[in-house]
Amino acid sequence: MAGLWVWTAVLVAARRRGRRLPQPLMRSAALWTLKTFDKILIANRGEIACRVIKTCKKMGIKTVAIHSDVDASSVHVKMADEAVCVGPAPTSKSYLNMDAIMEAIKKTRAQAVHPGYGFLSENKEFAKCLAAEDVVFIGPDTHAIQAMGDKIESKLLAKKAKVNTIPGFDGVVKDADEAVRIAREIGYPVMIKASAGGGGKGMRIAWDDEETRDGFRFSSQEAASSFGDDRLLIEKFIDNPRHIEIQVLGDKHGNALWLNERECSIQRRNQKVVEEAPSIFLDSKTRRAMGEQAVALAKAVKYSSAGTVEFLVDSKKNFYFLEMNTRLQVEHPVTECITGLDLVQEMIRVAKGYPLRHRQADIPINGWAVECRVYAEDPYKSFGLPSIGRLSQYQEPIHLPGVRVDSGIQPGSDISIYYDPMISKLITYGSDRTEALKRMEDALDNYVIRGVTHNIALLREVIINSRFIEGDINTKFLSDVYPDGFKGHKLTESERNQLLAIASSLFVAFQLRAQHFQEHGNSRVPIIKPQVANWELSIKLHDEVHTVIASNSGPTFSVEVDGSKLNVTSTWNLASPLLAVNVDGTQRTIQCLSREAGGNMSIQFLGTVYQVHILTKLAAELNRFMPEKVAEDTSSILRSPMPGVVVAVSVKPGDMVAEGQEICVIEAMKMQNSMTAGKTGKVKSVHCKAGDTVGEGDLLVELE
């Protein structure tokens, strides 16, 4: 065990010199030299598997990775000491295949299993299988998983433990008719949710009877697909709430702590997008009350591991129990940043039987941490429909101060339809919220992701939004701020001029580099260098054409944009994916994503990708004679907006459909999406059937 040997050497050396180590080092030494397990199998994939492996390496514990056949070359497989294939790509045949995983445990003689989050992390049957083989489950006991994994039972237990709960129906909803009856009794709006659910799957908000029927259908289908359990419950939907959760930690000796809160209100489709710790909204009194109730619930179920109690908090700081997640949360890094604890390490120690090392008074709030979930998604479609592809270029901004990236990918990794589209968790830490947010802004600008569509534009807009900065947020933040959908960053006049000046400088820099290459090439015909003092350019941005005059002196370009003069300075390393530029004293980091000979250039600026069309004055004049491509009329066709699997098709050729009527249902990353008709008409042809795998842009249905 590497960690044990290192600390043993440190202690021996100190004793030989007759010295004592400082108290913090003594505590760390004691921690690292405590024996836990020799080998742990991680029953997960991606970033969370890598995260667990990192802590195991620090503790000197050998690790075993499991993987599907398509994940054979994944980062978590390469990081682990051993790896075992547990089946083909579909999760039901690999990462949820308990028989194959149990066989891998026997084969590798792993003493314990860390389940990460998702998959089998809250599966009581899996925990029982491990116990039967005398393998330690690094998580709570099965009775706690069962009690808290069922939303109906957990709500009853919360009430008994005197935890504030949301008004609702404490039972399983049998069918759509009963759902409507219950919803009317509770009063609209209501939340329909999977009893065994989590991660936003199997959840729908209903504002009337029709939405309740649809919500019952979709939620039960999603619940069956994601959890193998289609039971649903209904409760009052608290309008405009904040989603704030308390991290708890318990041991097998009856001790439990709350490790402060995380604000997770920025969500889309009930899934978190941006999280932070602590919450800007809570005062110390409310924080303590929530923490004490969370601990009361943990003790009521004899909870022994890291877990999270989630609450909805209204504008008056009234809070209501939502659910308890009996596992490590996706957003646990922000808690680690402000407390200094390694939660994976604590889980391993507790699983071995050690008591907690800390008292409640020892848990600090040091600084501020923010986490952005970076997804392979198109944020311009419903705030994020999945994107698939191969990462042709990938570079994390870990060179910046106060930045942490939890990921499980590398250049060349594939984002497929089989698994969650998360690329990474980007975390920034600062002495206060302002510093943490500024570091996040810089980190997003310096994050290079090529080959898939990603949501960095949306993340960056959220963290610089005035409402977010002021702390005026709730779970409806995205729909409130962007009622017509996300459109990207809206440039001010100054920012527009900066972008045009940068684009024109890039254009000239590329031209000068090409000339330099020609001059130093082996051409048989001597090339006379054209003497160009000023470059007269025409730049099209957002259907507006701007006249630009650019000239350069060394690394500095002087650019006149519509009468405004700007100076742009950079190293102009055109081979680098990142380019730091200074525009009249303002520092910007931009990415030139693509450049075509015809003048089209794609630039990522302030997080958003802008398409600019740059031509010389002469080329622009000649371009007027080029025919324009007529846009396709898409009102009569339905194409898939995302890759996924067709779950159901509701029409056939000859059927009449009304505008907005459901035509088919596509499941992407375990979420069901209803595809509707764009206009009223007759179905001409259907190009898909239930069970088909479709890609983004594939033709589904044609109307006459």
Q: From the candidates 122, 323, 377, 696, which is the catalytic residue?
A: 323
Quick check: is 519 catalytic? no
User: How far apart, in Å, do the first and last CA atoms of the chain sit?
Assistant: 70
What is the torsional sign of CA 693, 697, 703, 704? negative
Residue type, 694: V
| DSSP-derived 3-state class of residue 372 | strand
> Cα Rg for the chain, rounded, in angstroms?
28
Rounded CA separation 276/373 (Å) = 11
Give, for 62, the enclosing helix (H) or strand (E). strand 62-68
320: tokens are 């209501």
Q: Which residues of 169-191 are buried (b: 16+ CB within 10 A; e: fewer)?
A: beeebeebebbbbbbeebeebbb
- Residue 698: closest CA among 649, 632, 651, 641: 641
Rounded CA separation 482/612 (Å) = 24
Distance (Å) of CA 508 to CA 98, 439, 552, 558: 60, 31, 9, 11
In the chain, how many H helices and how many E strands?
19, 38
Q: What does the DSSP 8-state code read for residue 361?
A: G
| CB 605, CB 612: distance < 8 Å | no
Rounded CA separation 456/461 (Å) = 9
Query: How many other CB atoms are there within 10 angstroms of residue 136's CB atom?
Result: 19
Q: CA torsion, points 288, 291, 292, 295, in degrees to nearest 10?
A: -160
Residue type, 589: T
| CB 295, CB 308: distance < 8 Å | no
Phi, psi (deg, nearest 5) at residue 405 = -125, 120
Q: How many CA atoms lie within 13 A of 299 on its CB side?
A: 15
Q: Looking at the DSSP assignment, which residues form a beta bridge with residue 393?
A: 450
Give the relative orientation of helices 332-339 and 343-352 as an angle to the nearest 10 degrees.
Answer: 90
Q: Is the peptide bond before 22 cis (omega within 30 degrees of 0)?
A: no
| CB 40, CB 53: distance < 8 Å | no
Rounded CA separation 369/29 (Å) = 27
| CB 173, CB 193: distance < 8 Å | no
Give the relative orientation of helices 124-132 and 142-149 as an angle to the nearest 10 degrees.
Answer: 170
Q: How many CA atoms lie within 13 A of 352 on its CB side?
A: 18
Q: Which residues contact 316 (CB under 8 A, 6 or more apart)?
A: none
Residue type, 336: E
Instruction: Using the structure block, give the residue that is written with the tokens 């579909």.
Output: 90
- Residue 656: closest CA among 632, 624, 681, 625: 681
Q: Which residues are catalytic?
A: 323
